Amino acid sequence: MKRVDVIVLGAGAAGMFAAIEAGRRGRRVLVVDHAAAAGEKIRISGGGRCNFTNTGFGVERFLGKNPRFALSALRRFTAQDFIARVDAAGIAWHEKTLGQLFCDGSAKQIVDMLLGDMARRGVELWLGCTLGAVRQAAGGGFEVETGRGVVGAASVIVATGGKSIPKMGATGYGYQVAAAFGLPVTETRPALVPLTFAEQELDWMRPLAGVAVQGRVSRGKTGFDEALLFTHRGLSGPAVLQISSYWREGEAIRVDLAPGLDVAAFLRAEKQAAGRAALRTALGKLLPEKLARLIEAQAGATGGPMAEVGRAVLDRVAAQVSGWELRPVGSEGYRTAEVTLGGVDTEALDGRTMEAKGVPGLYFVGEVVDVTGWLGGYNFQWAWSSGWVAGQVA
Ligand code: FDA
């Protein structure tokens, strides 16, 4: 039987980072993944440029049963620490918006950096290798069934991610390992995912497919000022992906298409200044033309001069522009979700090390844990930070 000090299950962001750190300490490390290549989600992330971290920090940027759980790891290995690694590897990067850092070149540079660091630390990598049961060995440590036979290890780091994008190899494997050791797993659901609408809504939405607009999308007190995008199935774009992590079935979301603007006052002023112009022309100063036309039609305005549009109609239009209530019926699900909300219950883990309470030597890192970040690099930072802390002790 092959024996190592640390076996890492999953060669994604969190697993590779944990392996590098354990290897740095002189541990014999083996990483096993059923995919044909390591770090596939890194490779496709950020539109191929990998939004590898975010300079922002705050407990409100993470969701889960106990968002504070993430803070210990995030403070010990910070965005600045990861940036230092990227700089040392000579990878050029830029800030796009809202603290989001992307590679200037390709996401593959991040994968290559991690693979290079693993090789330098002597980490062994088995790709295209299945994983089976994990059990405690009679003489201490663990035994892990793999497609290449049983592997004995003093420590096991579970880094098999969540359920998002099964086509890319995502499985619920990590949750099964947790359950096999009696560790609780919170309810999982797709997050950072486009929202879908019922047919009657899609009837008017479909013609808008491809239209993007800046706005504020909110659910209760939580809101995001970013772009939203109409699609053939409903709504997408950063603001909608963000709110999808908070939205629940049956609820409405609120879309403000002109945040900070008194739209009623704006429309009245337009009517006075250019009464011969159509309402959609005034709206077109705030919104893409197709959307302006739709809102004009939905308000029952005839398309004639604004001077003929009554105050009640203007107020109705203003209310729609500033507080459009839309009721999604679902989401596109794990097929397109960027992350999985929920996972291994943080109550069962030590936040300083990611070790399972009551199962010494068993660690869970990255997305498999019930810690989910906002869009914008927070999920990779969680993968680096949680992988790093486990790698210091496993
Ligand atoms: P990850 O999913 O990366 O790795 C898990 C590994 O385990 C995979 O290699 C998988 O093959 C393997 N595995 C799973 N089940 C297995 C089994 N049964 N047997 C063997 N191996 C198994 N985040 C961000 O911060 N910035 C960004 O730009 C993006 N962009 C982005 C785009 C898209 C399209 C997606 C889907 C996601 C993102 N994300 C993101 C989210 C980010 O990719 C995600 O949070 C991290 O990849 C999670 O890292 P992990 O290592 O935990 O899991």
Q: For the chain, what is the mean pLDDT?
A: 97
Could you read off the pLDDT of 156-167 as tens digits, one per residue?
A: 999 999 999 999
Q: Give the residue from 281, 312, 331 where a domain finishes.
A: 331
CB of 165 closer than 6 A to ligand 1? yes
CATH of the domain at 38: 3.50.50.60
Give the domain CATH number at 244.
2.40.30.10
Cα distances (angstroms) measured from residue 321 to each of 141, 306, 380, 387: 61, 17, 35, 44
180 and 241, same domain (yes or no): no
Tell whether ligand 1 has an atom less than 6 A from the beta carbon of residue 44.
yes
* pLDDT of residue 170 exceeding 80: yes
Ligand 1 atom nearest 49 alpha carbon: 28
> Are both 46 and 157 inside the same structural domain?
yes
Which one of 291, 309, 331 terminates a domain? 331
Q: Closest Cα to residue 24, out of 122, 97, 164?
A: 122
pTM exceeds 0.95 = yes
Give the orientation angle of helix 378-393 with respect to helix 79-88, to 10 degrees.
90
Does 86 share its domain with 143? yes
ipTM of the complex: 0.99
Ligand 1 touching residue 171 (CB < 6 A): yes
**Co-location of 58 and 124 in the same domain:** yes
As given in the structure block, the two tokens for residue 210 are 């491809």
Domain match, 137 and 238 both: no
- Band of residue 263 on the pLDDT scale cut at 50, 70, 90: very high
- Measured in Å, residue 300 CA sits from the centre of ligand 1 at 47
pLDDT at 289: 96
Q: What percent of the chain has pLDDT over 90?
A: 98
CA of 378 to the centre of ligand 1 (A): 13
pLDDT score of 394: 98
What per-residue confidence (pLDDT) applies to 99? 97
Q: 145 and 18 share a domain?
A: yes
pLDDT of the residue at 206 = 94
Residue 364 near residue 174, CB atoms below 8 Å: yes
Helix axes 108-120, 13-24, angle to 10 degrees: 30
Distance 383 CA to ligand 1 centre (A): 9
- 6, pLDDT greater than 90: yes
Domain extent, residue 273, equals 195-331
Number of domains in the chain: 2
- Statement to judge: residues 140 and 201 lie in one domain: no
pLDDT 10s digits, 106-151: 999 999 999 999 999 999 999 999 999 999 999 999 999 999 999 9
Cβ 340 under 6 angstroms from ligand 1: no
Nearest residue to 101 (alpha-carbon basis) of 87, 120, 115: 87
Ligand 1 centroid – CA 241 distance (Å): 17
The minimum-distance atom of ligand 1 relative to the CA of 51 is 28
Ligand 1, closest atom to CA 337? Answer: 36
Residue 385 CB less than 6 A away from ligand 1: no
Binned at pLDDT 50, 70 and 90, residue 299 comes out as: confident
| CA distance linking residue 292 with residue 295, whole number of Å | 5
pLDDT at 303: 82
Q: How far apart are CA 165 and CA 121, in angstroms?
A: 30
229 and 327, same structural domain? yes
Same domain (yes/no): 31, 138: yes
State the pLDDT at residue 141. Answer: 98
Q: What is the pLDDT averaged over residues 266-295?
A: 96
Does 13 share its domain with 154? yes
Task: Verify that 32 and 164 share a domain, yes or no.
Answer: yes
pLDDT of residue 221: 95
Determine how β-strand 149-158 pairs with β-strand 189-191: unpaired
331, 349, 367 - which closes a domain = 331
CA 160/CA 12 separation, integer angstroms: 7
Based on the domain organization, do 131 and 262 belong to the same domain? no
Q: Is the pLDDT of residue 302 over 80?
A: no
| pLDDT tens by residue, 337-387 | 999 999 999 999 999 999 999 999 999 999 999 999 999 999 999 999 999
Convert the pLDDT of each residue in 44-54 to its tens digit: 999 999 999 99
CB 83 within 8 A of CB 89: no
- Confidence (pLDDT) at 301: 81
Ligand 1 binding pocket includes 234 (Cβ within 6 Å): no
